[in-house]
Amino acid sequence: MIRIKRIYESPRPSPGDGKRILVDRLWPRGLKKEDVTFDEWIKEAAPSNELRKWFGHDPARWQEFKQRYKRELTGKTELVERLKAEAAAGTLTILYSAKDTKHNNAVVLRDLIA
């Protein structure tokens, strides 16, 4: 099972979260690392800085963002396979910081590894 959660709304684990992995390139603003519980921070799973800046969480760019991000992830086969294995072994909760809960990299990553 793969869940996605906004780290600001879920800084601490809920029952059933399983392994919690943060997939943002930058640390979430305003949060202290000691106030957040996560198992791993995989910056490499996040979109490149160039793609992240281009997207700017603009829903009008969502379809193109998904395509470009998936293309970036094709070069990270080992990472994607590792996340698939984590999900197969038990619940995986992907943490992200974006305000938009429908248009963010965690949504694309979840769909790709599901």
Q: Cβ atoms within 10 A of the Cβ of 74, count?
A: 9
pTM: 0.95
pLDDT of 24 reads 97
Tens-binned pLDDT, residue by residue, of the chain (114 aa):
999 999 999 999 999 999 999 999 999 999 999 999 999 999 999 999 999 999 999 999 999 999 999 999 999 999 999 999 999 999 999 999 999 999 999 999 999 999
The CA distance from 43 to 56, in Å, is: 18
